Amino acid sequence: MQAEGPIFLPCHFGEWLQGRLGPDGPLALVTLVPKGVGLTAWRRPARGLFSHAIGYGAQSPAVLARFGRALGGQPQGRVLLRLPYPPGMGTGMSTAGLLALAGAGHAPEALARACIAAEGASDPLMFSAPAQWLWAPREGRVLGSLLPPQPHAHLLTGFWGPPCPTRAADRNYDDISELVAAWRAGGDLARRAALASESARACIARRGPSADPTEALARDLGALGWAISHSGAARALIFAPGQVPVHGVAALREAGLRGVHRLATCGA
């Protein structure tokens, strides 16, 4: 039988902010969402639930079983995924892949709970404006709204370091309560980029990797700031629209970043 689709599901590219809300508080993040980049999926009818990502193999049967049970055992089908990025790099491929399996008709809150049941962590990609929310990734719930949402920016992006799938029990992050308060207070793109840089800098100082070149690249290329996946390899230099230098892609490649390309955020 002919496959249904394609279905497009947006991804993210690291976070503007990520850390704990207070020394004993929940892990929280503000996701960075690129414009027009996402996972594509095709579904065929099948008894049971199956998934295969082109070039990357199948998702774990145990993960699929937990996800299906958390949704009431409803999803059925064989789903083929085409990923824009490798799994485990901090771009939401795992969450987007699960959402592709769910099919239509589920509330975002139910999808978030199912992702947590399946993998112990989730990005807020089940919502129509993921960057609008302060998100608890280990609990799969909204901690508050962030209006206006992320600013419009142009990005130079790439990957530094190996794949690093999120570990559900990982709580080794700095307190970002003050950064979240400053983000909520508003400000222009330069202010948001500075907050992202502060969050990224603290994360790398605490967790590594050592010799990460992203901050130096941001300085040398005149970026307003830089953002990272706080538990993955994604890296992004943040520029005002139209201000990405012509030699930027070459500079990131020369510094050792992989998969270098230009993106823009889904701005306000």
Third-level CATH fold of 4-145: Ribosomal Protein S5; domain 2 (3.30.230)
Q: Would you say 231 and 189 are in contact if contact means Cβ atoms under 8 Å apart?
A: no
Decide which of 11 and 210 is more confident. 11
181 within 8 A of 19, measured Cβ to Cβ: no
Stretch(es) of the chain classified as CATH 3.30.70.890: 154-264
Coil, strand or helix at 4: strand
**Does the structure show a pLDDT above 50 at 1?**
no
The tens digit of pLDDT for each residue in 151-205 reads 999 999 999 998 888 888 898 999 999 999 999 999 999 999 999 999 999 999 9
Share above pLDDT 70 across residues of the chain, in percent, rounded to a whole number: 97
Residues 60-79 have pLDDT tens digits of 999 999 999 999 876 788 99
Mean model confidence pLDDT for the chain: 94
Q: Where are the beta strands (DSSP E) in 13-136?
A: 15-20, 27-31, 38-44, 49-53, 57-58, 77-82, 133-136
Instruction: Provide φ and ψ at 218, rounded to 5°.
Output: -60, -45
> Does 209 score more than 70 pLDDT?
yes
Instruction: Report d(CA 232, CA 212) in Å as an integer.
Output: 12
Average confidence (pLDDT) over 108-131: 96
Q: Does domain 154-264 have CATH number 3.40.50.720?
A: no
User: Could you give the residue range(s) of every CATH 3.30.230.10 domain in the chain?
Assistant: 4-145
* pLDDT digits 0-9 by tens, 177-187: 999 999 999 99
Strand ranges (E), 113-219: 133-136, 141-145, 154-159
Q: Check pLDDT > 70 for residue 259.
A: yes
